[in-house]
Structure 1
Amino acid sequence: MFRWTARIDGGHKRVNQALVKVPGSSFVLSFGGYWAKFDHSTDLDVHGFDTGTLKWHELDTSQSIPKRFAHTATVFDDRVYVIHGQQHHLPYSRVDVFDLKSKTWTTVAENEAIARAGHTANLINNLVYVIAGSCGLEFLDSVETFDPVSLVWSKPPVGGRAPSPRDFHSAVAMGESIYVYGGRSDENAPYFSNHQVYPQDVKRFDTKTCTWSDVVVEAGSIPIGRRSHSAVAYGNRMIVFGGYNQLVDEYFSDLLVFDVKACTWSNVVAPGPSPSPRRRHGCCLIDERRMLVYGGTNQGLADVVALDEPEDDYDDLADAYVLNFEPTLKELCLLAVVRNRLDYSHVPKSLQVALRSLTQETVTVV
């Protein structure tokens, strides 16, 4: 039973940021992104969200790297690899590494791969697979790999029919496969002509054979195409939230589930304090049962360039939400105590701490 279990205010407004869960800790880190008053001269900032106390913290780093958005962040061996992204209309070709222990930055690769933004990055068998995105006024469909051990980029020979060139799609890793859904393309792809297309297909990339294949939907209504949504892997299912389709000028707040074994789509209605319609938000798994949605934007001018640029007309967001895929009886009871404003002064201290974390002024639970 999916349930939105908490809404958290008090964060910074962020759009097109990258989130990662720090292994072995309660922290989620947010890297970069922009907001309406974006300052291109400032450095990329890092904020931490404590999933235990539901509080935000800004991290002090001894070094800095250029601010960016539409990048990716991948954790490997106590380091976070921030890959590509863009500033102004210029995409980066660079890999910056954040050491989780020393809180320091190192640039390990620059101008060694195709510059791109709005791409995806998935770690499988110690390789980061970077897929699609866009570079200036051109959409991409290519696959490149980055080895975080040797710090070497490669472009493997790829078979099968690749997804149409696109950016701001989603990609989730399951086993040795990557499932790609949605995104934005163009009638004249790979070139950008402002005649947008929103693919509705699901494609599978087999990392063992480096081969693309089509995933044939067996049941369920295929959802409307979208871009700048989010997706995480939960068991055999791909959980999709939000996004935007310019052709119908609609922002989404729906929860979609694609079962990769049964090849079926379904729409899930989750009770609780749910996010407003949005796109370009950050999202990641907190643990095996929960995901975090943070920030994004939910209104503004239509895109007029191949990649998103900050605009004062957008309503950028700072709120965060926790979705629990399988709430335990204990978690449901804690939520009921808070919702009904019950006295918990006589319960064990460990439960009091958990309840206090849910009754801060910046937290709403239902």
Structure 2
Amino acid sequence: MLSWTAHLKGGAPVNIYHVAVAVGPDVYSFGGFRNNGKLVTTTTTMQNEVHVFNTVSLRWKQLPGNQRPPAAPSIHEGYTAVLIAGAAATVYVWGGCSSVAGEWRCYGALYAFDVDGRRWSRPGASGSAPEARGNHSACAVGTAMYVYGGTTRWAGQTNSMHALDTAAMVWSSISGADAGTPPPASSLHSSSAVGTTVFVFGGLGDQGERYGHVRAFDTKSRRWLKTPTTPAAGTIRPEGRFGHSAFTHGGELYVFGGSDWDRHFADLWRFSPAASSWRKVRPKGDDVGGPSQSQSRGRWMCCCPVGDDRVVLFNKDDLHVLDFRPSLKTLCKLAVVRHGLKQSGLPHNVRWEMAAMTTTQQRTKKSGRPATLGITGGNRRR
């Protein structure tokens, strides 16, 4: 039973334009704007900030940092972060853009964050690297990172595809007749991998088009596959959008939220690659932990699958947990919260867990000492 099982307000380190990946039970958040409109990423006088949300304790904490540019990423937005899980978990951060003194700049630097050592590095890479850009998408297939689309400084939006072999640290450009026909150039779309296939959905076109089709790229043949761009009669699909979130589960693609300028969506859609069809999904628990109850309404949310069955979405002061297989204990706690039932007779740790699912929190300080927290228990699976 797909359910929203938690909605936390407060404690999130950023507002929008951050990137995040999940490593074990932790979600690592890099950069973005604070609620006061200031960037979290590094300037020449600020240390780089990395924040971690633990999905067991439901707490944020800021990692101590002592690295500055050029060893760590500089101040910008519209970049991507991809986790390559190997002998050592490494997060590769690439690209981005910023406006400096009224001048639009794009970046093509590659950074690597060592999760275990919690340090940044600037790995060298040869080959045909992509042109500097921002608002592109990226995802991992095995030890390769695939970068698609985005906005460059001089050429505007692009539909180029590049791959970085992180084992050999070699870039390659995937283009030409042998690569098939790519989607229209766009930015603010999503790329998600199902097996060895990368699915690109949505995006904002150069003339303001809001795309709602999904395109598939086969990483084995390194070729774009032929997929319908218009729905068949009698079928449905998501409205065209950009700035949405996407993830995969059980061999299917899920798309959440986004915007078409006029509207901000808080809906969830599922795409089946086998049937090439869409279905709108309505999880349980939206009245307790769903995004429709928040101010964010699905805009610019980071989306991180955690483990096999949970997904964390966060933005601004809102964080939501989507559970594909909530335990009976979790469902019972949701029922108590939803119906306002008395909790005085419940064990203390269960009351803590229920409060942690909905209570405003503050993140832990860099010193390791927690800021004022009303709750310390987590929504542990039984």
What is the CA-CA distance between 1:346 and the residue it aligns to?
A: 4.3
2:225 match: secondary structure? strand
Pick from 105, 119, 139 the counterpart of residue 90 of structure 1: 105
Tell me the equivalent position of 2:179: 159
Q: Is the 8 A contact 1:121 1:130 kept in 2?
A: yes
Tell me the equivalent position of 2:164: 146
Distance in 2 (CA, whole Å) between partners of 1:20 and 1:113 is: 22
Distance in 1 (CA, whole Å) between partners of 2:167 and 2:297 is: 39
Deviations 1:106-135 (A, max 9, x none): 112489431111111111131111111111
Distance in 1 (CA, whole Å) between partners of 2:269 and 2:358 is: 30
Tell me the equivalent position of 2:366: none
What is the CA-CA distance between 1:151 and the residue it aligns to?
A: 2.1
Tell me the equivalent position of 1:257: 270
Quote the RMSD (CA, aligned, Å): 2.5
Judging changes above 3 Å, is the alpha-carbon distance between structure 1 residues 196 and 266 closer, same or farther for their aligned structure 2 residues? same
What does 1:175-324 correspond to in 2, within 5 Å? 175-186=195-206, 195-216=207-228, 217=231, 220-246=235-261, 249-270=262-283, 271-272=285-286, 273-275=289-291, 276-295=296-315, 317-324=316-323
Q: Is the 8 A contact 2:6 2:358 kept in 1?
A: no
Deviations 1:344-363 (A, max 9, x none): 6548x6x6774564365438
Q: Is 31-40 or 41-50 further displaced after alignment?
A: 31-40
Point out where structure 2 has 5 or more consecutive residues left out of the alignment.
Answer: 362-374
2:333 match: secondary structure? helix
Q: Is the 8 A contact 1:130 1:144 kept in 2?
A: yes
Judging changes above 3 Å, is the alpha-carbon distance between structure 1 residues 252 and 109 closer, same or farther for their aligned structure 2 residues? farther
Judging changes above 3 Å, is the alpha-carbon distance between structure 1 residues 346 and 4 closer, same or farther for their aligned structure 2 residues? closer
Tell me the equivalent position of 1:50: 54
TM-score (ref. length: structure 2): 0.79
Distance in 1 (CA, whole Å) between partners of 2:197 and 2:12 is: 34
What is the CA-CA distance between 1:101 and the residue it aligns to?
A: 1.5
What is the CA-CA distance between 1:58 and the residue it aligns to?
A: 0.6
Distance in 2 (CA, whole Å) between partners of 1:38 and 1:44 is: 13
What is the CA-CA distance between 1:257 and the residue it aligns to?
A: 1.3
Q: Percent identity?
A: 30
Matching residue's letter, 2:95:
H
Does residue 335 in structure 1 map to residue 334 in structure 2? yes
Q: Is the 8 A contact 2:253 2:272 kept in 1?
A: yes
Tell me the equivalent position of 1:106: 121
Matching residue's letter, 1:211:
R
Judging changes above 3 Å, is the alpha-carbon distance between structure 1 residues 253 and 175 closer, same or farther for their aligned structure 2 residues? same
Deviations 1:162-206 (A, max 9, x none): 0000111011101110111100112xxxxxxxx311122211100
Does residue 26 in structure 1 map to residue 25 in structure 2? yes
1:331 match: secondary structure? helix
Distance in 1 (CA, whole Å) between partners of 2:302 and 2:65 is: 21
Q: Is the 8 A contact 1:62 1:103 kept in 2?
A: no
TM-score (ref. length: structure 1): 0.83
Matching residue's letter, 2:3:
R
Distance in 2 (CA, whole Å) between partners of 1:97 and 1:116 is: 18
Q: Is the 8 A contact 1:80 1:97 kept in 2?
A: yes
Tell me the equivalent position of 1:17: 18
Q: Is the 8 A contact 1:220 1:266 kept in 2?
A: no
Judging changes above 3 Å, is the alpha-carbon distance between structure 1 residues 100 and 150 closer, same or farther for their aligned structure 2 residues? same
What is the CA-CA distance between 1:11 and the residue it aligns to?
A: 1.1
Point out where structure 1 has 5 or more consecutive residues left out of the alignment.
Answer: 187-194, 296-316
Distance in 2 (CA, whole Å) between partners of 1:230 and 1:153 is: 26
